[in-house]
Chains A and B, each alone.
Chain A
Amino acid sequence: MIMKLQPVQVATGSSDRESRLVFEDGLLVAVLVQLSSEHDSEAGHWFLEAGFGRVDDPHAPIFADLDEAQAWIARQLSETRPVG
């Protein structure tokens, strides 16, 4: 599994813009957005703005850093659960 992160700005309709597209083996699996100062104690942390396929989870945690986010995404991708 090769995971690549591509910096991007996302128009979230808020001041959360700094983002990463997350690719696994060339396929987009997630969009991570860094939380701005509007989120108080969670400012600077990373939010799963969108997850595709196995990474889709409306109750994903907030990640302290990108390493933590990638580890969580990798776990989701490796889980053998039915999709859809």
Chain B
Amino acid sequence: MTVASITDTVLSSHSPTPLFDPSNALIRKLEGFNPLSDADRAVLQRISANAHLIGPRVDLVREGDPPDGVILIMEGLACRQKHRANGARQITAYLVPGDACDLDVALLARMDHTITTLSACRVVRIPFDVVRRLMDEHPAIARSLRLGTLVDEATLREWLVNVGCRSAIERIAHLFCELLVRLQVVGCASENSYEFPVTQLDLADTVGLSNVHVNRSLQELRRQGVIELKGRTLTILDRQRLKSIAEFDSKYLHLGSRAAA
């Protein structure tokens, strides 16, 4: 099948019955920003179908590579990261289910960062022409995707505040609060708990701290009865206290009425 015919199949408005999965993370995320029609949902369902299972710690695209489609995470946790020549690493974003790399990445000749899976992920690579037609032909989806991009930028600003202005324990508390809200939106967190498949070293590289400081902060949050980390499950035992430590305010996620946490 040629690229054009794949595109036609994916975006055809004369498709059969618009079936869509209510647990589809992409639909849940985009629908939260903006009402979508059944036809919109059906298109998103088709685009996000056939996600490939990729193991943990696999680079989906590397800094310096020419971009190859818009990467969409449907399950699991991935990250954007930058490496220094001395091996030091900074994780600059987490991609949770429903999140994609930059929509306009096609405009770039080379990637300026690496996208890597942190856990096993289900990943879709959407061809650029499909993304283009999606933006042109489905205004509601386009609006939601643009809002998603604004939220990505707002989140990056919040992370910059985190590493620049918050103490060790505040940084970690803030990240835990943010992930609870983001994962709840796409149905991947309960009221106070979610899978957190991130090693202590990943966490250190996320919040710009040493492994020792991360460990101390986690122990302190446990001692205060604020969190519990069992295996890969993070449970927030005292949400108000965690929010208060982090001074967390979910406004930057622009969730409107969905901001439950």
Contact with B along A53-79 (1 / 0, CB 8 A): 000001100100000000000000000
A residues in contact (CB < 8 Å) with B: 12-16, 35, 38-39, 42, 47, 58-59, 62
How many chain B residues touch A (CB < 8 A): the figure is 9
Near A by CB (< 8 A), chain B positions 15-37 give: none
Of B131-139, B170-178, B213-221, the one touching chain A = B213-221
A12: chain B residues at CB < 8 Å are 216
A15: chain B residues at CB < 8 Å are 219
Decide: B212 and A62 in contact? CB cutoff 8 A: yes
Decide: B216 and A16 in contact? CB cutoff 8 A: yes
Binding site of B, secondary structure by majority: helix, strand, loop or mixed? helix
Nearest neighbor of B208 in chain A, beta-carbon distance: A58
CB distance from A73 to the nearest CB of B (A): 16
CB distance from B105 to the nearest CB of A (A): 30
Q: How many CB-defined contacts (below 8 Å) exist between A and B?
A: 25
A42, B200: Cα distance in complex, Å: 13
Contact with A along B215-249 (1 / 0, CB 8 A): 11001100000000000000000000000000000
A42: chain B residues at CB < 8 Å are 212
B107 at the interface (CB under 8 A from A): no
B residues in contact (CB < 8 Å) with A: 86, 88, 208, 210, 212, 215-216, 219-220
Binding site of A, secondary structure by majority: helix, strand, loop or mixed? loop
From the candidates B86, B88, B212, name the one contacting A35 in the complex (CB within 8 A).
B212
Decide: B215 and A39 in contact? CB cutoff 8 A: yes
B208: chain A residues at CB < 8 Å are 58
Q: Could you list some 25 contacts between A and B, CB below 8 A?
A: A12-B216, A13-B216, A13-B220, A14-B216, A14-B219, A14-B220, A15-B219, A16-B212, A16-B216, A35-B212, A38-B215, A38-B216, A38-B219, A39-B212, A39-B215, A42-B212, A47-B210, A47-B212, A58-B88, A58-B208, A58-B210, A59-B86, A59-B88, A59-B210, A62-B212
CB distance from A29 to the nearest CB of B (A): 18
